[in-house]
Chain A
């Protein structure tokens, strides 16, 4: 592959590394000031560049990652309290209100919905697959 140096490649590498750091360490108590320091940016310069690229401030992005991971864990049938601490929140009430604000329903309502969905999938799997694929694969005959 030919190598091409695009504009501001060093800036991109540092911001992307910061984003990947958040992706890997969302469950910990992340200090965003430290990330800016490690990326060799002033805090405000870092936030501005990060937002330009990802459309969210690092803090907003961290929250989004935590809520996304919480949804994954709830889909895997984990208890709300367990999920709350597993994704880096320190209080169930702040987790619950933030979750509801972003997802639209409470974590426990989300969990219940997912459990019902799983039961439906197990009982009537063909309802979740387009008929053409069911027919082509002979799944309706089994």
Chain B
């Protein structure tokens, strides 16, 4: 009995209904509501002052020093994390793409940071970077690379750099896996042909590997940008945003505004700025997937 197409549609949407209901109730509705909250002066500590103020929360952002500083910190954080992640992930993926003894072990080890909750990652690096007892100090001193223990996290620049390094360690595996999957799609004949042409290692990398990796690499760039942009767990535990505001990213500022200052209105405005920036990045991501025809259903 041939089925009518419309009944297929009904069936498909009936199957999707539970997921759609849950997602719209718990994502779409809150996002809309969050915008509504952002149009109000709404601080739990001043319940009587609650009122509609239109776009005032947003307009105040332009001369909100804490907000502007956190945007700068976030942007720089994304850049530093991205640079280190891409170089390290590319190198590790190329190594894992070779055949050698212990490759399986190295791949398993690479999953270790991925499995680690951000909070544990933060407290782990705290013990490593500790000024008086840390493993990094111990190691570098024993190797004779530094004379005496250093307080890595007390200067703004130091704290920022080492927080970025902790974040890189945590998110590296994800990029490695994506790049490795990309490398696996390169036909080996291409390398053979390049070898016949006596192309050196660098030429083979530039002219055979890279063109095949542009797509996975872009995906890594986009997803890691989003990851680093909303980084919270590791930083919260490692530095708490300090010293001063050296590691106060926009996510940290937002959580502090809401949890500590209980300013729901301004916090929602921050959240909307974060959402808009993320949205722009994710549109790039989806457009990219589309161009590659990844959406054939």
The answer to whether A and B come from one shared complex is no
